[in-house]
Chain A
Amino acid sequence: MSEKGPLSPIAINAVAIMFVLIGLPFAVSLIANSNALPDEYIEMPADSTSTNTRNDRWLTMNQTGINSDNSSDTWCGGYGYAGVDYYHIYENCPTVEGTTMYSLNGDRYQTMESCDPTTYNFGSQRTSCGDGPYTFILAAGVVKEELIDRTITEINIDMLAMDVFQGTSYQCDDRTIFNEITGSMNVWFNSGRVDWSPYNPNITPPSGVPTAFIENKTIKVFEGELSSVNSIVVDSVSNSSSRSVDYMCQYAFKITFPITAMNAFLIDEMAEANDNYNQSWFTIRIDDLYVPDLSQGLTQSGLYVPFFPESNPNPSKYLVHVEFGVVSEATGSLSVQAGTLILSIGLFGVALASTEAWDPFMERVRNV
């Protein structure tokens, strides 16, 4: 076997240029898009007695897709912990107040309004949530203490119909229909102080409220298909109003989305700069949601899809369970920083290999 000689100058040139054009983008992509599996999960809110009202509010809904003849309620919603003094948009909005915390399978579920024309309106009737997109807000301030020194790598959201408490025994007999639910999703992380006037039904809201939030000091956390619409079965239900059900089979609309290492790192940075999540929130927008005719072949499936009141014969509220999958901040940032360190050493090596100092350097390395 012939002995391999040193690389020719042309080969060295090619390697260096390929490193910059191929290796650098590939390494950056690898570092930025890696995703750590969560070590633990943090439920929202941390306080199990939260009522999701006024200063306590963490879950709100913006019906940005509603076709309504009453423009003011289109903007009905609030932004819990949006500012040091808990600024809210339209904090007197009747549709997001007076909610209750429930316990399902030991997990905390908060109520969220659907597009019920009888409860989610004031002044005019509505029979549909419209074609979307459907937007809602998760204010991170309610778990700010738990998020300190941790990095969010995943968010799980379960939604199911409120009438799990009505006593009807559902048959969880056909999960395949969930495969037919499709859609796409955009998630942003927003941070910073927000000042808005209190809600006044006599004043037309400023236009483009959600857009203003999306564009203002924002990290785009996720963009893609709804890849994790699954079903779950609730085995036991109880609530704080003393009603209880021993066993109830119920499907839930489940959304899971990962947060890449780079975005998690940026979220940490932005949140820490804004009072440790006290002024931070996630904006979740679901686009192009397609739900098949749920009445076909499913007499009592117990599946009601949020934003689709047509799927629910008795639309009222939805129970929403949110949890953040987290790793320790040191672990989360370590992977990004370690990758960056290796990349910078590689880049410095290419710089050295591009000069006449390379051969003496390698000679010295060999002699060590």
Chain B
Amino acid sequence: MFEINILIQLLAAFVGVGVVGQGFKSGMLSSGYSRAFAGGSVSLVSANFLGGFAGVESFLRVCYSGGLGFPGQLLIISLATLIVAWAYNLYTFRQVIV
């Protein structure tokens, strides 16, 4: 299920952006290079962690396919809502969480 992979990649990307944004606001990661490196690393590790090691991906696949009924569908909707909210924040306020 390609959609679940996209959800996880987006989630990981926003986590990376969020971590870098907070690091920058705290006075760390002042250079563009360090921010790019930190963001990329965090996103990569997060995506691999959520997708493989933690088994979140297979769980989300079952939810998405309807295997867990309404609660599973609700979980996918909540996850999509979180990603949309973070994307909106990033676009509007230039930070993931306001």
Contacts and interface: CB of A to CB of B under 8 A. Distances in A.
Given A21-B49, A28-B59, A13 B79 contact: no
A337 B71 contact: yes
Given A340-B72, A344-B71, A354-B98, A24 B50 contact: yes
A255 interface: no
Interface in B65-79: 67-72, 74-75, 77-79
B36 to A, nearest CB: 18
A13 B67 contact: no
Contacts of A265: 62, 67-68
A337 to B, nearest CB: 5
Given A341-B74, A350-B82, A356 B98 contact: yes
A203 interface: no
Size bracket, chain A contacts = 35 or more
Interface in A241-283: 262, 265-266, 269
A345 interface: yes
Contacts of B19: 17
B6 interface: no
A21 B8 CA distance: 11
Contacts of B25: 10
Interface in A323-364: 333, 336-338, 340-341, 343-345, 347-348, 350-356
Given A13-B97, A21-B46, A25-B54, A355 B85 contact: yes
A155 interface: no
B1 to A, nearest CB: 15
Interface in B31-64: 46, 49-50, 53-56, 59, 62-63
A172 interface: no
Chain B interface, >50% SS class: helix
A21 B15 contact: yes
A98 B36 CA distance: 70
Interface string B79-98: 10110111011000000111
Contacts of A351: 78, 81-82, 84-85
Interface string B6-20: 000001000100110
Contacts of A10: 22, 25-26
A25 B49 contact: yes
Interface residues of B, number: 39
Most chain A CB within 10 A, of B50, B53, B84, is at B50
B93 to A, nearest CB: 9
A37 interface: no
B56 A24 contact: yes
B78 A344 contact: yes
A20 interface: yes
Nearest to A24: B56
Nearest to B22: A13
A12 interface: yes
A177 interface: no
A196 to B, nearest CB: 29
Given A25-B56, A354-B86, A355-B98, A347 B79 contact: yes
A262 B82 contact: no
Contacts of A24: 50, 54, 56
A117 to B, nearest CB: 44
Given A16-B18, A337-B69, 20 more contacts: A9-B97, A12-B97, A13-B21, A20-B50, A21-B15, A25-B55, A28-B54, A28-B59, A32-B59, A269-B67, A340-B63, A340-B74, A341-B74, A345-B78, A347-B82, A348-B74, A351-B78, A354-B98, A355-B85, A355-B89
Q: List the 9 closest pairs (A to B, CB-CB), nearest first.
A: A25-B54, A344-B75, A351-B82, A340-B71, A347-B78, A341-B71, A348-B78, A344-B74, A351-B81
Interface of A: 9-10, 12-14, 16-17, 20-21, 24-25, 28-29, 31-32, 262, 265-266, 269, 333, 336-338, 340-341, 343-345, 347-348, 350-356
